[in-house]
Amino acid sequence: VPQTGRASYAPKLSSAQGQLLSHNTLEPVYNLFRAVTPEPGAWIDTTSGRIKVLDCAPEHERRVPEGRISVAQDHVVIGFHDGALGLRRVQPAGKSAMSAADWARGIHSLGDWSFA
């Protein structure tokens, strides 16, 4: 189909636009993750610093309180307003990319963790 009119340009996405906020609902959060991945990247701001989310998927069977991070048997799940997102690969600030399970094994007090 021939296009009419001139081409339009989308503005470049900034890193700040990739923040996954806990008070949002799951579907828009997952859509935002897909929109900003791989660049500029999606991230969460935890009580221990910024974590870049490299791979994730909605978790329909798990419930996690909004703004909390839960770890159980190699699964890392973060809670949003109406659902949860399972983290698969992450990159902590200043570190290399790793599986979310490996990252969780290196954290001692994860039960007290939350994100914005």
Predicted confidence (pLDDT) at residue 46 exceeds the cutoff of 60: yes
pLDDT band at 79 (very low <50, low <70, confident <90, very high): very high
Q: What CATH number was assigned to the domain covering residues 17-112?
A: 3.10.25.10
pTM strictly above 0.75: yes
Residues 50-61: tens digit of each pLDDT: 999 999 999 988
Q: What pLDDT score does 53 carry?
A: 97
Q: Which residues on neighbouring strands pair with residue 55, listed in sequence order?
A: 89
- Mean pLDDT (whole number) for 16-24: 92
If you average pLDDT over each of 43-52, 53-62, 99-108, which comes out highest?
53-62
> How far apart, in whole angstroms, are the C-alpha atoms of residue 91 and residue 22?
19
Using an 8 Å Cβ cutoff, are 54 and 91 in contact? yes
Using an 8 Å Cβ cutoff, are 87 and 107 in contact? no
Instruction: Give the pairing type, strands 49-59 and 83-92.
Output: antiparallel
